[in-house]
A and B are shown apart, each in its own frame.
Chain A
Amino acid sequence: MKCRKCGESAVIELRRHNTAYCADDFVAFFRHYTVETIRKWKMFEKEEPILVAVSGGKDSLALWDVLTLEGYRTTGLYLDLGIDEYSKGSRAKCEAFASERGAKLEVIPVIEEVGASIPEVQIATRRPTCSACGLSKRYLTNQAALARGFAVVATGHNLDDEAATLFGSVLRWQEEALSRQSPVLPASSPKLARRVKPLFRLTELETAAYSFLRGIDYIVEECPFSKGATSLHYKEVLNRLEAHAPGTKHAFLLGYLDRIRPAFKRGQEVTLRECIRCGQATTSELCAFCRLVDEVSHKSHTISGPVSAGA
């Protein structure tokens, strides 16, 4: 297979674009596509400081790499979830990435903010792990952005992530989730940073290939709590469809964003207020994060005393 641009040997075939690229031309394509997404969707301007939420995985490190190469002003934010060896490994990947590029990385241990690590939260509250983890990530990333003066948080969500989320929301007709799904979530309150997803038009295969070809040392192991996650089943279904009809995931997501979402959005406007305890934006009196912290604190004391590490 030959690169459609230069005729050299191809290293990746992009069936949805009916093309193939050599390493150099694929990296150039990936960078251009990301910058075009940022510009077309008005995510942020060149001079704006960007807080990049990094996990040590292929997507967020690929995003941080592109933004750095393209001259954006970035700071990485790593949330240490306290998931034993997995967190130690992923944190080390982020620190090595930042150190090699002279980039600034902030690390926040979740245990200091929630009162327990993510595995301990699951034990104390019996909530699904991914639910407590997602809630904590969104809250703490936003809090960190506001405290450090960042108006924008960029995350590494890719086309597969977004298509799988949409697929799940459609299957259960979750109107609120459908109205919220967007590559740009504007700062709808002074207490919310804008959240953007510059990789949302690139597939997981493409972000992995980019990271590999750029020599990014990312964590290949999966979070131990993601085993059996519903999103993985959705991704598998979508990838089977994609294998038969390349471009299906892109058409599904972009078609929704362009043509259907405006109708959902109009019917789902919500009023935000400030949480009576922490002051962050919420639709209720006490925000979901403060309720989670209360739950952890209450249950860990009533069941077996304070939650200890490694419980």
Chain B
Amino acid sequence: MIVVLRNPDREVRLAGRHRVKELLQELKVIPETVLVIRGKELLTSDQVVGEDDVIEVRPVISGGVR
């Protein structure tokens, strides 16, 4: 599977099927800080992503002055 990470944009390739929760643990990402997106759907932590999926892990945290 291809995992697209943002800020800065980059890609990570992972083999096999993963539960979203385990995927985020592997990437050392706090679940509360990202949306996990497959195509046009949001994924919850219990969903399984497969070998052929392209997954975007989009950060939701904004910094600086608001």
Which A positions have Cβ atoms within 8 angstroms of B?
1, 10-13, 20, 23, 57-59, 129-131, 133-134, 137, 155-157, 160-161, 203-205, 207-209, 212-213, 220-223, 225-227, 229, 231-232, 235-236, 239-240, 242-243
Q: Which of these, A10, A220, A226, contacts B6 with CB under 8 Å?
A: A220
B30 engages A1 (CB within 8 Å): no
- In the assembled complex, the CB of A199 is this many whole angstroms from the nearest CB of chain B, namely 11
Q: What is the predominant secondary structure among interface residues of chain B facing chain A?
A: loop
Q: Which residue of A lies closest to B46 (CB)?
A: A1
A96 to B10, alpha carbons, bound, how many Å?
Answer: 27
Q: Which residues of B contact A129 (CB under 8 A)?
A: 64
Task: Write the residues of chain B forming the contact surface with A, with a CB cutoff of 8 angstroms.
Answer: 6-7, 30-35, 37, 41-47, 58-66
A-B contacts, 29 of them at CB < 8 A, read A1-B47, A11-B41, A11-B44, A20-B44, A23-B42, A155-B66, A161-B66, A203-B32, A204-B61, A204-B62, A205-B32, A208-B35, A208-B58, A208-B60, A209-B35, A212-B58, A220-B6, A220-B7, A221-B7, A222-B62, A222-B64, A223-B64, A225-B64, A229-B64, A232-B63, A235-B63, A239-B30, A240-B30, A243-B30
CA distance A209 to B60 in the complex (A): 9
Q: How far is the CA of A155 from the CA of B33 in the complex (A)?
A: 21
- Asked whether, in the complex, the Cβ of A11 is within 8 Å of the Cβ of B42, the reply is yes
- Nearest CB in chain B to that of A136: its residue: B65
